[in-house]
Amino acid sequence: MTKLSTRSMTTVSKALMTFAVIAMMACSPEPRPLAGSNSGLEQAAVTLADIIYHGGPVVTVNDANPLAEAVAVSAGLIIAVGYAADVMKMAGPDTQIVDLDGDTLVPGFIDGHAHLGGFGAQAMSANLLAQPDGAVDNIDQLIAELQTQVDSPVVARMGGWIVGMGYDDAILADRRHPTRSDLDKVSTVSPVLAVHISGHFAAVNSVGLERIGYSSATEDPTGGVIRRLADSAEPNGVLEELAAIPVINKVLSPTTREARTHLLEQSQQMAMSFGYTTAQEGRAFKPSHQAFLDFAEQGLLDIDVVAYIDYAHKDLIDNYGAGIVYRNRYRIGGMKLTLDGSPQGRTAWRTLPYLLPPEGQDSNYRGYPAIPNDEDVAALYDEAFAKGWQVLAHANGDAAADQLIRTMRPALEKYGPADRRPVLIHGQLLRSDQLDALAELKVMPSLFPMHTFYWGDWYDEIIGPELAQQISPMRSALDRGMLATSHTDAPVALPNLMQVMSATVNRVSRSGKVMGPDERLTPLEALKAITLWGAYQHFEEDRKGSIEVGKLADLVILSANPLTVDPMQIGQIRVKETIKEGTTVYRASN
């Protein structure tokens, strides 16, 4: 992967001219489609382009002008979309002509939910993912992969911790989490941290337990569990939810400015390599917010970043402010609530018991809430509505979704309707009646259809085949008139939005079983869920998400057209180039 130069400066006069012609365009009649084509010319006015893209399909994601042959860009904005012959008339002596050579141009990607700050840690740490994203299929392989990090310079950047990310007990042949005794085989000198693929569990070795201060005398925190040895109260090394998440955050938060900068450089590079032009930090704490703020103030952000601040640190929103205006490409979008855990990890809060409870739990086990008292959640919604904050609420289980609905409704009734765009994140186990309630409350779902591939077969075992067919109900959401985004939740898995699009279209599990065929989206709908609808979720649909005149030239060049290839090949499509406001910020090396 090759990182190109940062965004070049454009003269003020050219930018002003471009904005002027766009304003003129707003008063002009709708563009007329050309005869015999749906690639009607859409242009701002007669002006010269900085760049023209042609020579391959242009998927605009604009229903009024869905396909085109060429796109012209000036001063970072799209100024024409249509037939190549027409768009080429906007070329001048200094215009850069980019031949796509058959590749496909689409809008820049906007993930509905991810944790950008974790991308760098994923890139730098041991890869504990199972196939196809990694090669860890059993605990012996996990130990071996972690051992490769023992002498790595990355350990110093991680405060002396040996770190690996992405193990999955549902996929490991051992069908369990690694324990302290397993990780003691990696090192008895350095602390070792293995982060579960969900980000809601972790395993640490004996030195790690000592470092974080967990012992037989440590009580389980509210909303978390410290698993114990069978014959004593000593921790066995496996940590759940709020016993794990603070530990993960602390270990993955570098303590020096140099280390923080390096980590975010790695995060941004990975995001751009997967076509992100707008990225989300979906759960920012004080250290991560400060790291992003510092990174942005150094002028190092090449793409836009929207952060959602964890409710425990909501004073940051008051101090910094939330809204749609970026400062050096960074802004706070609102507040993040986490109401339960991970369905594949069986900590998501359900109304029905899991068919296969976790180790140490009885047959009535239903997961558990992250915030047990409804009054606490209702107070957070009340404050957010009063202050005009957008709220992203993580709710996987149906009991957590019930809590979201009953605690948000009083705030809506108190403050009345407004364009707040509250979001339910994940919603893996939503019921039909809950989708009705979310539509009524104007809650936008950002769902997680990647689960159909990664854990579809596992859901058959833990919640039963019938309910497993209903996970990530994208079609049901759209049928109710809701816009919905899909997301990676990276670094849960690699931030590969083409894999997300594939899962949204195909819904095929690892074993090849179709998981809920009636919930599939068309390729165009699936593309909108990571572009235009992602822009809408972030209040940016007027300037991002589709290839239209007047919008930012946030673009991605793909190796194939996701609308015309065999749907089962969508996940194999590669990002060849990422363009932010007309400037290439990433180009694949081959």
CATH of the domain at 455: 3.20.20.140
What is the mean predicted confidence (pLDDT) over 390-411? 98
Q: Is residue 285 part of a domain?
A: no
Judge if 365 and 467 occupy the same domain: yes
143-167 pLDDT per residue, tens: 999 999 998 888 877 889 999 999 9
Judge if 243 and 385 occupy the same domain: no
The total of structural domains in the chain comes to 3
pLDDT at 5 over 60: no
pLDDT at 66 over 60: yes
Residue 4 pLDDT grade (very low, low, confident, very high; cuts 50, 70, 90): very low
pLDDT at 448 over 60: yes
Q: For strand 126-127 and strand 192-196, is the pairing parallel, antiparallel, or unpaired?
A: unpaired
Judge if 156 and 104 occupy the same domain: no
Q: What is the mean pLDDT of the chain?
A: 91
Judge if 61 and 150 occupy the same domain: no
Q: Is residue 319 part of a domain?
A: no
Q: Is residue 297 part of a domain?
A: no
261-287 pLDDT per residue, tens: 999 999 999 999 999 999 999 999 999
* Of the candidates 533, 564, 565, 507, the residue with the CA atom closest to the CA atom of residue 109: 533
How far apart are alpha carbons 260 and 252 in whole angstroms? 10
Q: Is residue 323 part of a domain?
A: no
Alpha helices by DSSP H, listed for 226-369, are 245-251, 257-273, 286-297, 315-320
What domain range is 460 assigned to? 339-544
pLDDT, residue 46, reads 58
pLDDT, residue 45, reads 60
How far apart are alpha carbons 338 and 354 in whole angstroms? 21
Judge if 353 and 479 occupy the same domain: yes
pLDDT, residue 471, reads 97
Judge if 505 and 448 occupy the same domain: yes
Q: Is residue 334 part of a domain?
A: no
Per the model's pLDDT, the better-predicted residue between 33 and 308 turns out to be 308
Q: Is residue 328 part of a domain?
A: no
Measuring CA to CA, how many Å separate 200 from each of 40, 134, 166, 347, 468?
49, 19, 11, 8, 21
pTM higher than the cut 0.85:
yes
Judge if 419 and 434 occupy the same domain: yes
Judge if 467 and 564 occupy the same domain: no
Judge if 140 and 185 occupy the same domain: yes
pLDDT at 14 over 60: no
Q: Is residue 583 part of a domain?
A: yes
8: CATH: 2.30.40.10
Per the model's pLDDT, the better-predicted residue between 131 and 341 turns out to be 341
pLDDT, residue 159, reads 85
The residue out of 198, 230, 251 marking a domain boundary is 251
pLDDT at 11 over 80: no
Q: Is the dihedral of CA 121, 124, 126, 131 positive or negative?
A: positive
pLDDT, residue 440, reads 97
